[in-house]
Amino acid sequence: MSRPLSDHEKRKQISVRGLAGVENVTDLKNNFNRHLHFTLVKDRNVATKRDYYFALANTVRDHLIGRWIRTQQHYYEKDPKRVYYISLEFYMGRALQNTMVNLALENACDEAMYQVMNTPIGVRGGLSGGKHGRLSCFLDSMATLGLAAYGYGIRYEFGIFNQKIVSGWQVEEADDWLRYGNPWEKARPEYMRPVHFYGRTEHHPDGVKWVDTQVVLALPYDTPVPGYRNNVVNTMRLWSAKAPCEFRLQDFNVGGYVEAVLDKNLAENISRVIMGKELRLKQEYFVVAATLQDIIRRYKTSKFGSMEAVRTDLDGLPNKVAIQLNDTHPALAIPELMRVLVDEEMLTWENAWDICVRTCAYTNHTVLPEALERWPIDLFQQLLPRHLEIIYEINRPPPYSSEGGQKRVNMAHLCIVGSHAVNGVARIHSDILKATVFKDFYEMDPYKFQNKTNGITPRRWLVMCNPGLAEVIAERIGDDFIRDLDQLKKLIKFVNDDAFIRDVAKVKQENKMKFAVHLEEHYKVKINPNSMFDLQVKRIHEYKRQLLNCLHIITFYNRIKKEPNKHWTPRTIMIGGKAAPGYHTAKMIIRLITAIGEIVNNDPVVGDRLKVIFLENYRVTLAEKAIPAADLSEQISTAGTEASGTGNMKFMLNGALTIGTMDGANVEMAEEAGEDNLFIFGMRVDDVEAMDRKGYNALEYYNRIPELKQAIDQIAGGFFSPKQPDLFKDIVSLLMYHDRFKVFADYGDYIKCQEKVSALYKNAKEWTKKVIYNIAGCGKFSSDRTIAQYAREIWGMEPSLEKFPAPDEKR
Ligand SMILES: *Cc1c(COP(=O)(O)O)cnc(C)c1O
């Protein structure tokens, strides 16, 4: 909301952004003022930007409440099958704008705010309050498809750290995101649940008892998840850990105040941060134990048929409940469900196992061995003694193994044996699972193995973040594509339509100008808005090969220096992403990128033909600004290592072209858009495997390719770190002697492919035509398609685009 719109602009935007009716606007204004006064207890003289944000958030939130209650009532009355999506990572993105888009309130809010404030308010700008981002694609699609779905996870008090770049290095800062409260969540202390840890087991003739445990309380916080304009509002429930009582009075009475508070802190640490070892296993059990209590209570107390009674027959559980395990982090749901069914509900082992397998399903997200969870048996023995016994009884084949003298529980194996469906997240990834890491399991139970290619929500990743492009598309094919992304196919008709080509290019240029302003303010670097915006934004990891990008940058730099008068296609190369705090190599990669930037950006010979920017603190809100401004999307992982990727899809949908390897979902993107419309290079999975058999020798490439040798010698010789010439010696030795991801093997082909990219970019029209083919081929990558497949092929549920009845809006 930045300025009043012309009538023409308003008409254009109505289909995508909702109608700003007078009644609507008046209502919003009144409610905004009411919240500023009664909820925030402020007047206009003392209200801050944050107060205005909160007042607006509360105003918009009010529109959700009736729909939320109605949806939950409807589920109670109709008792449909429910799906529980359990994940330990629900990261956060903007909730306010998402709600406005899904409720068609965006224009009305803009207008109301303009009338009240006479000035823009930072909804899309600096302020972002309550948030949900990562995995919110799936929550958004489940609500949009009318599924009775619940997201379950942990309410982390501190989310993923904020990244600061200080003297070129990553520095982590705590993300105290709840400091000012979160208007989107509602605490539900009445549904608090106990979770047990430690203790021991007692075997009696009538069953097993887990006794002498320590208890932590799980306090749920609910966040509404609105569907796209269908009046459905689902629930995301996140658990927060509470010590059983604020003060343990015995300790307090004998003067042990400090011990009492310390112990309380210990218990509550579970939801404080995302971190390692025992605490991590505790977190995993905590979310699963609390969630299963909720699932079973809801199953038992749902109204079924015309009766309002308590359901006791747990045999019916798989008909009414699907549990989706997002990665192995919630794997303990399997032994925990077994424990509840056998020890508490007194079912036989066989009966319980059948229920468990038919209820649970597992999604794998990586094949990298270091990311597969394997917990030492003795840790299990201490923390969850009963669960260890149950795991020992699940001996078909045993989900534990002996490694280096230490027995460990392999969580992926536990998930596979305890589930009826196992899926990878892109076709190539699902095939690799069957052929390699899970081969034995596949041969035993081939029917379990499936693929569900990932997707992204077109609401957040197009309508919200790139309204200009959404409007240009809607002008040609209407706005049904927002809920049925396959309709983008209709754009093929316009590939040779000069007006459409012009409109698409114009939106991109506007997005670039906006982002350039942001960059210049933030990085004090003069950006050439006519340069190609070349982006690689994703977590920093060896397998994603930011180092390959670095080698291209250095090569391009050296070429400019060698022939400064040639007509080089100017580029602004941006790399962004967080390194895990304990991942030293990833932090060194960041340092290398910033070091290259310091040299390149200050070289007068280069001028504005090459700039290198490290985008600080990459997160959903920054992605929403950066991706719509991108011309080129770098998806350059070693073939066979990226399970799917979702960043690749966001760029494709926002009109960037992809340079990428045949990895993850890139393979299917090439299939959908036509391989000629992407820049595909490098080894295929087969080539990588062949090289593994033969042995990869980086030195061979170094000695054979002069430009590669030059780049490496520069890094090694301190060209980019003159004050500390050996700063990057570890990186150099990694690339030369122990590079698991074979950067040098793809270097030659990558550089050639980048030359093709530069050549095409000179021809704006041909470039934009490829962009249009890409947008037209995006339909498959809607998370609506992904979720519809999960629903039909794993959960036994039928998605529906039917609208729920609107609630009475009288307030
Ligand atoms: C989409 C997204 C990712 C995932 O990117 P990949 O390229 O698929 O690794 C990571 N971080 C943020 C903030 C995102 O929005």
- Protein residue with least CA distance to atom 9, ligand 1: 538
Give the active site residue among 387, 650, 742, 769.
650
pTM (predicted TM-score): 0.93
Q: pLDDT per residue over 56-89, tens digit each?
A: 999 999 999 999 999 999 999 999 999 999 999 8
Q: Which residue has the higher pLDDT, 224 or 157?
A: 224
Q: Is 652 in the pocket of ligand 1 (CB under 6 A)?
A: no
From the alpha carbon of 649, which atom of ligand 1 is closest? 8
Q: Which residue has the higher pLDDT, 104 or 122?
A: 104
HSE, CB side, 13 Å, CA atoms: give it for residue 658: 39
Q: Which residue is associated with the tokens 């003289």? A: 45
Q: pLDDT per residue over 513-527, tens digit each?
A: 999 999 999 888 889
551: pLDDT strictly greater than 60: yes
- State the average pLDDT over residues 412-424: 97
Q: Buried b / exposed e across 283-303, counting CB within 10 Å, b at 16+?
A: bbbbbbbbbbbbbbebbeebe
Residue 708 covered by a domain: yes
Return the number of other C-beta atoms located less than 10 Å from residue 565's C-beta. 6
Q: Is 578 in the pocket of ligand 1 (CB under 6 A)?
A: no
For ligand 1, the distance from its centroid to the CA atom of residue 123, given in whole angstroms, is 22
For ligand 1, the distance from its centroid to the CA atom of residue 537, given in whole angstroms, is 7
Element spanning 234, H or E: strand 233-242
- Does residue 650 carry a catalytic annotation? yes
SS3 276: coil
622: pLDDT strictly greater than 70: yes
pLDDT band, residue 528 (cuts 50/70/90) = very high
- Are residues 411 and 537 both part of a single domain? no
- Pick the range with the lowest mean pLDDT from 35-49, 240-254, 342-356: 240-254
Phi then psi for residue 57, to 5 deg, are -60, -45
Number of folded domains in the chain? 2
- State the average pLDDT over residues 165-176: 94
- Are residues 403 and 548 both part of a single domain? no
- Are residues 411 and 556 both part of a single domain? no
For ligand 1, the distance from its centroid to the CA atom of residue 575, given in whole angstroms, is 12
What whole-number distance in Å separates Cα of residue 593 and Cα of residue 636? 16
- Protein residue with least CA distance to atom 11, ligand 1: 538
Q: pLDDT per residue over 787-801, tens digit each?
A: 999 999 999 999 999
For ligand 1, the distance from its centroid to the CA atom of residue 650, given in whole angstroms, is 9
Name the most confidently modeled range: 85-99, 147-161, 447-461. 447-461
- Does residue 561 carry a catalytic annotation? no
What whole-number distance in Å separates Cα of residue 687 and Cα of residue 691? 6
Contact (CB, 8 A) for 499 and 579 = no
- Are residues 415 and 546 both part of a single domain? no
SS3 258: helix
Q: Is 646 in the pocket of ligand 1 (CB under 6 A)?
A: yes
Among 545, 621, 646, the mutation site with the greatest number of ligand 1 atoms within 8 A of its Cβ is 646
Q: pLDDT per residue over 187-197, tens digit each?
A: 999 999 999 99
- Are residues 403 and 552 both part of a single domain? no
129: pLDDT strictly greater than 50: no
Residue 6 covered by a domain: no
- Does residue 539 carry a catalytic annotation? yes
Q: pLDDT per residue over 666-693, tens digit each?
A: 999 999 999 999 999 999 999 999 999 9
Nearest residue to 657 (alpha-carbon basis) of 759, 775, 521: 775
- Protein residue with least CA distance to atom 10, ligand 1: 538
pLDDT of residue 244: 86
Strand-pair category, 193-197 with 233-242: unpaired
Q: pLDDT per residue over 239-294, tens digit each?
A: 999 988 654 545 444 444 445 445 555 566 566 544 457 888 999 999 999 999 99
Residue 207 covered by a domain: yes
For ligand 1, the distance from its centroid to the CA atom of residue 538, given in whole angstroms, is 5
Give the active site residue among 35, 242, 544, 578.
544
- Pick the range with the lowest mean pLDDT from 128-142, 273-287, 466-480, 581-595: 128-142
Positive or negative, the CA dihedral 449, 453, 454, 458 is negative
- In the chain, the percentage of residues whose pLDDT exceeds 90 is 79
pLDDT band, residue 760 (cuts 50/70/90) = very high
- Protein residue with least CA distance to atom 14, ligand 1: 620
Q: Is 619 in the pocket of ligand 1 (CB under 6 A)?
A: yes
What whole-number distance in Å separates Cα of residue 226 and Cα of residue 68? 8
pLDDT of residue 664: 98
Q: Is 623 in the pocket of ligand 1 (CB under 6 A)?
A: yes
Write the burial class of residue 658 (CB in 10 Å: 0-12 exposed, 13-18 middle, 19+ buried).
buried
- Does residue 538 carry a catalytic annotation? yes
Average pLDDT for the chain: 91
The CA–CA distances, whole Å, from 405 to 98, 383, 401, 763, 767 equal 51, 21, 10, 62, 58
- Are residues 415 and 536 both part of a single domain? no
pLDDT of residue 254: 46
For ligand 1, the distance from its centroid to the CA atom of residue 609, given in whole angstroms, is 28
Give the active site residue among 427, 539, 559, 785.
539
- Are residues 594 and 735 both part of a single domain? yes
Residue 520 covered by a domain: no
Angle in degrees, 0-180, between the axes of helices 764-776 and 743-761, rounded to the nearest 10: 120
Among 535, 538, 617, the mutation site with the greatest number of ligand 1 atoms within 8 A of its Cβ is 538
- Protein residue with least CA distance to atom 2, ligand 1: 647
HSE, CB side, 13 Å, CA atoms: give it for residue 214: 14
Q: Which residue has the higher pLDDT, 312 or 606?
A: 606
Q: pLDDT per residue over 569-595, tens digit each?
A: 999 999 999 999 999 999 999 999 999
pLDDT band, residue 8 (cuts 50/70/90) = low
Q: Which residue has the higher pLDDT, 21 or 561?
A: 561
Q: Which residue has the higher pLDDT, 306 or 592?
A: 592
The residue type found at 223 is T
Residue 11 covered by a domain: no
Give the active site residue among 538, 578, 611, 770.
538
pLDDT of residue 90: 72
Residue 118 covered by a domain: no
From the alpha carbon of 456, which atom of ligand 1 is closest? 1
From the alpha carbon of 650, which atom of ligand 1 is closest? 1
For ligand 1, the distance from its centroid to the CA atom of residue 535, given in whole angstroms, is 12
For ligand 1, the distance from its centroid to the CA atom of residue 519, given in whole angstroms, is 20
Q: Indicate which CATH number applies to the domain containing 749.
A: 3.40.50.2000
Give the active site residue among 74, 229, 365, 514.
365
The distance from CA 620 to its chain's CA centroid, rounded to whole angstroms, is 8
Residue 685 covered by a domain: yes
Q: pLDDT per residue over 690-707, tens digit each?
A: 999 999 999 999 999 999
pLDDT of residue 21: 73
pLDDT band, residue 608 (cuts 50/70/90) = very high
Rg (alpha carbons) of the chain, rounded to whole number: 27
- Does residue 490 carry a catalytic annotation? no
- State the average pLDDT over residues 173-190: 91
Question: Encoding tokens for residue 90?
Answer: 């629900």
- Pick the range with the lowest mean pLDDT from 92-101, 658-667, 727-736: 92-101
The residue type found at 270 is I
For ligand 1, the distance from its centroid to the CA atom of residue 352, given in whole angstroms, is 38
- State the average pLDDT over residues 349-354: 96
- In the chain, the percentage of residues whose pLDDT exceeds 70 is 89
Q: Is 645 in the pocket of ligand 1 (CB under 6 A)?
A: yes
Q: Which residues constitute the domain of residue 608?
A: 530-764
For ligand 1, the distance from its centroid to the CA atom of residue 647, given in whole angstroms, is 5
Query: Side by side, which strands form the sheet with 400-403?
Result: 374-376, 406-410, 400-403
From the alpha carbon of 537, which atom of ligand 1 is closest? 7
pLDDT of residue 669: 98
The residue type found at 153 is G
Q: Is 538 in the pocket of ligand 1 (CB under 6 A)?
A: yes
Residue 140 covered by a domain: yes
Angle in degrees, 0-180, between the axes of helices 706-717 and 546-562, rounded to the nearest 10: 100
- Are residues 535 and 416 both part of a single domain? no
- Protein residue with least CA distance to atom 15, ligand 1: 620
Q: pLDDT per residue over 197-230, tens digit each?
A: 999 999 999 999 999 999 999 999 999 999 999 9
- Does residue 646 carry a catalytic annotation? yes
Q: Is 575 in the pocket of ligand 1 (CB under 6 A)?
A: no
